[in-house]
Amino acid sequence: MENVNQQSSSPSAIEGLPSSFPPSGVRGLVIIGAGFGGLKLAQALGSKKGFHVTLIDRFNFHQFQPLFYQVATSGLDASNISFPLRRAFQKDKNVHIRKADIKSIDFAHHKVIGDNENFFYDILIIATGANTNYFGNQQLIENTYPMKSTVEALQIKYRLLQNIEEAIYATDQNILQSLLTVVIVGGGPTGVEMSGAIADMRRFVLPKDYPEIDFKTMMKVYLIEGSPELLGTMSEKSSEESLQYLQKLGVEILTNTMVKAFDGKMVTTNTGKKINASLVVWAAGVIGNMPEGIKKDLIVKGNRIKVDRFNKIIGMENVYAIGDVAYMETEKYPQGHPQVASVAIAQAKTLALNLKKIKNNKKDIEEFEYHDKGSMATVGRNLAVVDIPKPHLHFGGFFAWMIWMGLHLFLILGVKNKFAVFSNWIYNYITYDNNFRLIFRAFDRTKTHQ
């Protein structure tokens, strides 16, 4: 615990510091990443005297990742699940937002190197989250669609809708089948939710938009999972029910199966099965977003950084990692914590409390302990699964679906966003329709428009 309270030499003595660096006695705290963990930490310290917080992200908005799949399937507009970072901190004058791509970290000089600016720190928190893990398969990187950002969710939506538009004109049966086949790889919550949403589109929405296509016969939705069951981190009951729900919706489930190749036209699995498809959504794993400058001996499997029970990076002072990019071994989680939003938020809360204690020279800082409050996944209209560990409860079907919607609505930032999401959900439920089936594409400004 003593090591946690040691202070490194202040960067205020370094030549070339910008004049905007906080005055003496104020801790310059830099947070890299405005995901769930980084945002929560900035909020917890934003109104506290003695901290000068710089929050850096490559986007100028916070993204509500659990609902990316609804953007990808036209259920919500991208703006519904995105919240401007500067708006979130308008009343916190000691929080400064910077839109930047981080190139590397110079720990010796307390410096974060960005594409447009360098950021000096007294305390550094790495909350860079995780990205899509392709396990080194370059062909899959080039031809499949990930879904780890709002932009990527929009790309999936445009490709899905454009494929259906092109299917109207297809005269070759193989091309038609390819355009109307969607393959989702990864049977975790993202894959399950995406599969169910597309199956609902096929069932309720697309036949009304495209009466010339027989979607019930022609459109295929595959969900491929490498392990024996879906939702492997949830209960056996949730796994079984999600499988039954998806099968009821007409999704073809392939477990114990891995995608080995996809050339943009044909999916090939390790079992030798080939699927004629032109859209593959990759949700089969995550890998930590690792800034340059981290010592290799601190990086473990999955590109995560070793931290102690206080989220301090092993062997470093005043440098912390939280969320998906942090690897902490505890008695309850000997292989590290699950890479979910609730862990990142809980770590941010504990770290904020500890940093305030350290600043006030208190030594009773707390070790992080994750208390799992449950997990859930929605499968489709009126269908979801919910697990609550204490007391040991499981819910499925409509009631679980209501719980899922209520919790996600509560977690979304901003009253306007909450209202937009809720009103769209009500509209979609009543009309059996999705409201954002728009295909935007760039146009040539050199051409004259008639």
Query: Tokens 């600043």 — which residue?
Result: 359
Say if CB 287 and CB 132 are below 8 A apart.
Answer: yes
Strand pairing class (95-99; 51-57): parallel
DSSP string, 112-152: EEESS-EEE-SEEEE---EEE--TT-HHHHHHSB--SSHHH
User: Which of 193, 212, 236, 331 is flagged as catalytic?
Assistant: 193
Query: 114-127 in b/e burial notation, b at 16+ Cβ within 10 A?
Result: beeeebbbbbbbbb
Whether 117 is catalytic = no
**What 3-state DSSP class applies to 309?**
coil
In 334-381, which ranges are E strands? 375-380
Distance, in Å, from the CA atom of 73 to the CA atom of 209, rounded to the nearest integer, reads 14
Tallying the residues shown for the chain, one arrives at: 450
- Helix (H) / strand (E) element for 383: namely strand 383-388
Instruction: Catalogue the active-site residues.
Output: 193
